[in-house]
Amino acid sequence: MSRRLHVGGFRRTARIVKTLNFFIHRALLPAEAIVGQNITLEHYALGIVMHPNVTIGENCRIFHHVTIAGEVVIDAPERVVIGDRVTIGVNAVILPRPYRGLTIGDDAVIGAGAVVTGDVPPRAIVVGVPGRVVRIRSEEEIRQ
């Protein structure tokens, strides 16, 4: 909702919605972030923190206490781009290196507690600290 208000020129109202969301759910979801259709923020978006230079694709699922950060100024060309149908597990951290962007490919799965600091290929399953690709899912697995 805050994104629609922000784009529509109602920036003050967008900030109020963002602030209310923070106080109710302890989630920091900036109006400047670009979010696709049908995104699911599990467990009421509890504790999710997101940098304004984030783009999230469609049909993504993000669990609670996820951090999607960036060490860039707002509106810098470097962005964290999360593809379509990506799942990010509980307590995962997406943290690009300073002044760089990061891309997570379509249909990727980021495991609970993983720390991702580099690009993730499409259909990859990433786990651990630091995050490592453990395998690439097949097209048949994704369709199921």
Give the pLDDT of residue 124: 97
CATH 2.40.50.100, applies to 33-143: no
Contact 143, 126 (CB under 8 A): no
pLDDT < 50 stretches in the chain: none
Tens of pLDDT, residue by residue over 19-50, are 776 677 666 678 788 889 998 888 777 788 89
Give the pLDDT of residue 26: 65
Task: Return phi, psi of residue 13, to 5°.
Answer: -65, -40
Which sequence spans correspond to the domains of the chain?
33-143
Give the pLDDT of residue 130: 94
The predicted model scores a pTM of 0.82
Report the alpha-carbon distance of residue 101 to residue 22 in Å, rounded. 25
Continuous segment of H or E residues that includes residue 74 = none
Bridge pairing between strands 124-127 and 132-136: antiparallel
Give the pLDDT of residue 108: 97
